[in-house]
Structure 1
């Protein structure tokens, strides 16, 4: 069972992320061709304190590279964690194509990654399986270049 605060954060951010579309998204049909940078869903930044998405930025090959490095450096499922005010942002990173996120215990296929940024704590990846069950993963990749590119939190 996840701690109450973390559960509340998961519910709030994921509800917003999952039910919010980029402007104009409904006007474009889903295409079966490989996604180009112009077809990628945007990166969304959820401010935990504000309780809303505060920034949306175009997704590109560099963001896809960051996401691949996170997936490639997963060390395992996150143990029960406590969440506090240091967890200030959650970043939704839509993937160009579904990826398998796996550890020895589990494999989850997803087309979205949710990066949890908590100051002075290891970052976490939240992934939902096809039944929308959440899985939190620990990973080793450095998120500093990603944070610098999105600009939140400010340096």
Structure 2
């Protein structure tokens, strides 16, 4: 029981880190292996930011899950420099970073925070293969 609580809190700590780091200048991408509780940091580049921007622009719906953080999979925290203005029917905010969540047996979705740090989970139409290739990452 305690182990389950401990491991389920790891993704929450990752998300909490967003609030602390968001005040700083973010230049690295963080990749979290949710099950292994391991974070890898790699430098960002314009190609990765372009792919992340394409994904954000293809938002098509809201994630309809009670607990959108999976037990297994990956989370990619990608800074956006410069920040991107996102305007759709769910949110109108300046986005400084995006978190792409890739559950083990589901389609990926993303997490963004608005100007008041309110989280939004969205599905998107874009395939992530190009992003993964640009990151030199395989699932």
TM-score band, normalised by shorter chain: 0.7 to 0.9
**Aligned length in residues:** 131
Is contact 1:42–1:56 with CA below 8 Å preserved after alignment? yes
Per-residue deviation, 1:63: 0.5
Structure 1 residues 41-64: Cα deviation after superposition (integer angstroms, max 9, x where no partner)? 1111111123342x1111111101
How far, CA to CA, are the matches of 2:101 and 2:124 in structure 1? 11
- TM-score, normalised to structure 1, is 0.70
Moved over 6 A (4+): none
* Counterpart position of 1:37: none
C-alpha RMSD over aligned residues: 2.7
- Report what 2:27 is aligned to: 41
Stretches of structure 1 that go unaligned for 5 or more consecutive residues are: 31-39
Aligned to 1:13: 14
Gaps of 5+ in 2: none
Deviation (angstroms), 1:88: 1.3
- Mapped to 2, the partners of 1:98 and 1:41 lie a distance apart of 12
> TM-score, with normalisation over the residues of structure 2?
0.77
Paired with 2:51 and 2:44, the residues of 1 have a C-alpha distance of 11
Match of 1:139 among 89, 109, 124: 124
Query: Cα gap change, 1:84/1:58 in structure 2, threshold over 3 Å: closer, same or farther?
Result: closer
